[in-house]
Amino acid sequence: MLHSKHITVPANTSASSPQITRFKVNKGVMYRSYLNFPPGCAGLVQFRMSLEGSPILPVEKDAYIIGDGIVFEYPLYVEIAEEPMEIVIETVNLDDTYDHSLDLQLLIVDKQWVLPVGAYEGIIAALKSIFTRRF
């Protein structure tokens, strides 16, 4: 399931009083996120996202992501064990004149469709050992 949020952050939204956007997500694995900072943000718009109080993007609790004219693609492996759970997005706009917008897409898939982290490498290593074994 692809969740999509368009967020407009008013001018003069400070870090001491960030804009909060909340939405509920269903059970599964948060597998990938796409965060679009359109041209014009000029590094003045800041973004961070958490799930039930735990930081997701960025992983540092007090940090923000900034950008200008760029789409960040982040691979994730965040399990959503209960439903619904709440995603909280905090945004800041240090521009004193203009509102700015950004777009977030979150891909959440069923856990059965995602190999556990590291499983792929283990499978490849096992196959290599089978085919390179000397008799």
pLDDT given at position 84: 84
- Please give the single-letter amino acid code of residue 4: S
The CATH number that applies at residue 48 is: 2.60.120.380
Would you state the pLDDT for residue 134?
56
Q: What is the pLDDT of residues 36-73, one digit of tens each?
A: 999 999 999 999 999 988 999 999 988 999 999 999 99
Total domain count, the chain: 1
CB 55 within 8 A of CB 70: no
Say whether 121 sits in a helix, a strand or coil: helix
pLDDT < 50: residue spans in the chain: none
At 121 the pLDDT is 62
Hey, what amino acid is at 127? L
Could you give phi then psi for residue 64, rounded to 5 degrees? -130, 160
In which domain, by residue range, is 6 found?
2-131
What pLDDT is recorded for position 37?
97
Contact yes or no for 63/18 (Cβ under 8 A): no
Instruction: Output the 3-class SS for 57-115.
Output: ECCCCCCCEECCCEEEEEEEEEEECCCCEEEEEEEEECCCCCCEEEEEEEEEECHHHCC
Q: What's this model's pTM, rounded to 2 decimal places?
A: 0.80
Share of the chain above pLDDT 70, in %: 89
